Amino acid sequence: MNTSRTADRPTLELVDVGAPGCSPAELAGAMNAEQAADLARTLKALADPARLRVLALVAGNEGREVCVCDLTGPLGLSQPTVSHHLKVLVDAGFLTRDKRGVWAYFSLVPGALDAVVSALPGVPARS
């Protein structure tokens, strides 16, 4: 048998307070699968110590831009690894890459973090 509801709970009747007409299998406040997958993909880009440190380093040099060779030292990672993390952050929309000549400069995308925060469940808005 499956694990869906087969017995009433003693005291609590879970009422669906969402929009009338929504599926009986859904609870109020449900996040659809596509939204969840998108947000999870973005959060996965953040959920790495090296990438968090990259963001902190770039944020701490607001105005000034940072190139790969500035990061290998503080992070203690090889150049290919740092380049990989930067690519992940650029693909996720947190950084922009600006290649001028031989050097590649990275800077924060304003509002990218706020957008993620706003999409979090239970964090409706920033005042």
Binding-site ranges for DNA (CB under 7 A): 3, 5-7, 10, 44, 47-50, 67-69, 76-81, 83-88, 97, 99-104
Is residue 30 a contact residue for a copy of itself (CB under 8 A)?
yes
Residue 20 binding: pick among DNA, a copy of itself, none (C-beta 5-8 Å cut-off by kind): none
Residue 4 C-alpha from the chain's centroid: 32
Tokens 């469940």 sit on residue: 121
Q: What angle do CA 50, 121, 23 make, to 5 degrees?
A: 135
Please report how close the Cβ of residue 87 comes to a copy of itself at its closest, in angstroms.
Answer: 17
**Sign for the pseudo-dihedral over CA of 38, 41, 42, 44:** positive
Residue 123 binding: pick among DNA, a copy of itself, none (C-beta 5-8 Å cut-off by kind): a copy of itself
